[in-house]
Amino acid sequence: MTILTTVAPATRRIRSFVHQMRTPAGAIAAIGTVLLVGLAIFAPVLWGAEAAEVNVDVIARGPSAEHLLGTDSAGRDILLRTLVAARTSLMYGMLATLIGVTLGVIVGCLPSILPPWIGRLVTAVVNMLVAFPALLLILFLAVFFGQGATGAVFALGLAIVPNIARLCQTMTASVVGRDFVSAAKVLGVPRTAILFRHIIPSIADVIVVNATMAAASSLTAMAGLSFLGIGLQAPAYDWGRLLSEGLARMYVSPAAALTPAIAVTLAGIVLTMLGDTIGRAVGVTPVISMRKLAGLPTRSAKPEPDRGEAPHPEAVLSVRDLHVSFPALGKWVTPVRGVSFDIARGERVGIVGESGSGKSLTALAVAQLIEYPGRVEADAIVFDGVDYAGMSEREVTSHAADLGLKMSMVFQDPMSSLNPSLRVGPQVAETALLHGGGIRTQASNQATDRLAEVGIQNPKMRARQYPFQFSGGMRQRAMIAMGLMGTPKLIIADEPTTALDATVQRTVMQVLDRVAVEHGSAVMFISHDIALVTGFCERVLVMYHGEIVEDISSADLVEGSAVHPYTKALMASIPTLTTDRSRPMATVADFMKEDKA
């Protein structure tokens, strides 16, 4: 069978590594590693004999021109001995890591090939061993192997096994749950092939990073065992032995102890930094280079948009030329560009658009919830008579009660938007407690009322429960109740029903509708579901690539009198219960093409 190459995009990798090497930490890690390896290879060859030379004339001297860091009890040069010891220290540490990581990966991957019950047994044993500290395992194993380098290396190696094995198991479990593994299973790809082609490449990065970290701790642990006299035995020596020899003469010549101590620490740090660097290069941490971020792009000096006029005096919300920018990979990206709109008192305005079109960011910017390092710029963000554009964090804080009571937010994912560690009642009540006088019982009574109002039965009992005891629909209702603690002039609802089933969505929408009517609140309703938006809102704003391309009444939109080609295309591409099945669906791509032609 031909071998399918599974190497990840090599060029991207190399570029990423090069990028990391240019960061200070990456550069130190790289240079340090080269130095360490170089020392381990060449130091014994260059200075091995000299370092072993006993000189009775200069026993235990302090630093001198001839012996930069002094001599030890046999008159041997401490600096040279420390340099030469790099090989033994590094070698035994690496050997232990190699043993530990190899066995750990094997043990960790076994459960995915073995029959399930044996796999579970292996997992259970590993979990048990992980709970025990490495020292006990080493102690245990040292009895088997006896004292000496071989025993210590094996003991250290085996002590790494449970951690690496467990890491492999959890990582494997997460990969196995992904659809591409299911797809391979369905296609009939054999288990071993799935392991080697899908699972191992997916977890390799994490294993490599952790193996490097394990190497750092093996190195120091090996030195530790030698330090205690149960690792390397004389006449062999490593940093641990040098340190223990030097410790006794600490008062006479501190360098004898401090030099190997610093050596082992530096080596450990270099390896840890190497692990960090590899992790960053292959992985997840976004790189924000602040130096390149000095200049925030100035807003394009394009001709004033149509609604470039002054903020609407009657509107509950009036936004002019809103920009939201974020730093990404050393550049500023501006996902919201020049958005202007008004929402009249009591009006319901929907914002629709694709994912990434900037609708949620617009809402967060309006609510003053964009956090550093994101930046908001606007000519005006007037909410209920107060212009928040350009306000400092402190100035916004001085309007906290206004915002807290008059603007309410209903966020997208009810599963993650409620604090899992706090009871629902106090979370709902909090706004009233903060801005409405602050009497606890009154606030909590009000919260119970509001929970009842959004259709949660037995609200007293429910208020004492935690969010995870609520279903998705109930959490979303609780979110709405939370927004009703004041008398909201504006409810900003960001995809409030996206995670919910249609029937639950319907009830949540009914709650929102009733609440808005009763309190006379305006609603800014963000959704990707145009049928839902047009059914609920009076007016619709269509966003496309960070701009509002269409501002149209729901009735006109449904009727088909949209002007912008994107809106037209979008409307045509939505299947309805009257779509002509004999013809292919119209797609946005078709429309955009026509428009260009």
Residue 55 is a binding residue for another protein (CB under 8 A): no
Residue 470 is a binding residue for another protein (CB under 8 A): yes
Q: How far apart are CA 270 and CA 566, in angstroms?
A: 54
The angle subtended at Cα 552 by Cα 546 and Cα 557, nearest 5°, is: 105
Q: 121, 535, 593, 595: which one contacts another protein (CB under 8 A)?
A: 535
The angle subtended at Cα 188 by Cα 182 and Cα 194, nearest 5°, is: 60
Q: 456, 484, 542, 543: which one contacts another protein (CB under 8 A)?
A: 456
**Interface mask (CB under 8 A) for another protein, residues 285-314, using x and -?**
---x-x------------------------
Residue 70 is a binding residue for another protein (CB under 8 A): no
Of residues 347 through 386, those in contact with another protein by CB under 8 A are: 354-355, 367, 369, 371-373
Q: How far is the CB of 431 from another protein (least distance, A)?
A: 5
Residue 284 is a binding residue for another protein (CB under 8 A): no
Q: Token digits for 100?
A: 């530990």
Q: How far is the CB of 426 from another protein (least distance, A)?
A: 9
Residue 228 is a binding residue for another protein (CB under 8 A): yes
Residues belonging to the chain:
597
Q: 419, 438, 439, 460: which one contacts another protein (CB under 8 A)?
A: 419
Q: How far apart are CA 569 and CA 562, in angstroms?
A: 10
In single-letter form, the type of residue at position 358 comes to G
Of residues 384 through 413, those in contact with another protein by CB under 8 A are: 397, 400-401, 403-404, 408-409, 411-413
Residue 561 is a binding residue for another protein (CB under 8 A): no
Q: How far is the CB of 133 from another protein (least distance, A)?
A: 3
Residue 196 is a binding residue for another protein (CB under 8 A): no
Separation in Å, CA 567 to CA 143, 340, 428, 564, 588 = 76, 18, 38, 5, 9
Residue 279 is a binding residue for another protein (CB under 8 A): no
Residue 577 is a binding residue for another protein (CB under 8 A): yes
Beta-carbon contacts of 105 under 8 Å, excluding residues fewer than 6 positions away, are 164, 165, 168, 207
- What residues does 348 pair with on adjacent strands? 523
Binding region for another protein (CB under 8 A) out of 45-53, 111-119, 295-303, 450-458: 450-458
Of residues 476 through 515, those in contact with another protein by CB under 8 A are: 479, 482, 500-507, 509-511, 513-514
Beta-carbon contacts of 28 under 8 Å, excluding residues fewer than 6 positions away, are 270, 273
Q: 220, 318, 325, 446: which one contacts another protein (CB under 8 A)?
A: 220
Residue 6 is a binding residue for another protein (CB under 8 A): yes
Q: 264, 281, 447, 480: which one contacts another protein (CB under 8 A)?
A: 264
Q: 45, 531, 593, 594: which one contacts another protein (CB under 8 A)?
A: 531
Q: 43, 216, 336, 481: which one contacts another protein (CB under 8 A)?
A: 216
Q: How far is the CB of 123 from another protein (least distance, A)?
A: 15
Q: What is the DSSP secondary-structure string of 152-217?
A: HHHHHHHHHHHHHHHHHHHHHHHHHTSHHHHHHHHHT--HHHHIIIIIHHHHHHHHHHHHHHHHHH
Alpha helices in 61-148 (DSSP H): 78-113, 116-130, 134-145
Cβ 500 vs Cβ 452: under 8 Å: no
Cβ 378 vs Cβ 320: under 8 Å: yes
Q: How far apart are CA 173 and CA 37, in angstroms?
A: 36
Q: 50, 304, 395, 518: which one contacts another protein (CB under 8 A)?
A: 518
Binding region for another protein (CB under 8 A) out of 88-96, 103-111, 301-309, 418-426: 418-426
Q: How far apart are CA 539 and CA 524, in angstroms?
A: 10
Of residues 122 through 141, those in contact with another protein by CB under 8 A are: 128, 131-136, 139-140
